[in-house]
Amino acid sequence: MKRLALLLCVVLAACSNDNVPDVSSEKAAADALQVLQQSSSADGKALYAACAACHGAKGEGNVALSAPSLVNQQDWYLFRQLNGFRSGLRGSHPQDGYGAQMQAIAKTLPDEAAVNAVVSYIASFSAEPAAKTLDGNIKRGADYYSNLCGACHGPAAEGNDKLQAPALAGVDDWYLLKQFDHFRDGIRGADEADRYGYQMGMMGKTLPDAETAKDVIAYIQSLAD
């Protein structure tokens, strides 16, 4: 679980606004690869050291590096996404430069024990809702969320592990918007083998425009206040 969490940190850091890794993120990826190669698969704390450069010592994230907070992501979801990178279900699209970077790192994890070790270490951090960075029409967003998102992600965006729908409240709003754009544009979830990603890819096309997406995410962010 610990190595998985570390790889996930780097994977999430790879999703920037322009999908093109910059020098700092490339260095973080190189550092992560070195740590993964030198650390025990059971040493989540040591493995997380490579994540901390982008995601922070306590998983708080860094918007300047396009590295989302990890502390508001559920452990089962982190585990699934990290394995998605390892298998190639995520990060294979040619326009997803950061995803490709994370995929390369994830594939260095030798087994699921390593993945579990990193995730377990991240789970030891204190959770705190991410800071608001986007504005939108919360009332309109609430209407769209209730009609299109709430059935899976929950009325308070608390998530539903039985449906494999992660919690959204408290997650970085800028990161949610970027991932929604990826689903809408087919950059993420285009592979039918990625069952849940493919489902979200279809949902990403249901909102009428980019402003509505911001409204929905502004509403989700308000649920964490």
What Cα–Cα distance (Å) separates residue 141 from each residue in 60, 157, 171?
26, 13, 16
| Structural domains of the chain, with CATH | 2-123 (1.10.760.10), 138-222 (1.10.760.10)
Per the CB < 8 A criterion, the answer to whether 13 and 66 are in contact is: yes
pTM of the model: 0.81
> What's the pLDDT at 82?
86
How many other CB atoms are found less than 10 A from the CB of residue 17? 12
Dihedral (CA of 125, 99, 102, 199) sign: positive
> What's the pLDDT at 7?
46
Residues 6+ apart with CB under 8 A from 217: 134, 136, 141, 173, 176, 177, 180
Q: By C-alpha distance, which of 78, 178, 190 is closest to 125? A: 78
> What's the pLDDT at 155?
97
> What's the pLDDT at 67?
81
> What's the pLDDT at 144?
97
> What's the pLDDT at 34?
64
> What's the pLDDT at 110?
75
Separation CA 113–CA 4 (nearest Å)? 8
Residue 180, both tokens: 């929604």
Low-confidence residues of the chain: pLDDT under 70:
1-42, 50
> What's the pLDDT at 91?
87
Per the CB < 8 A criterion, the answer to whether 190 and 93 are in contact is: yes
pLDDT tens track for 43-64: 888 877 767 777 889 999 988 8
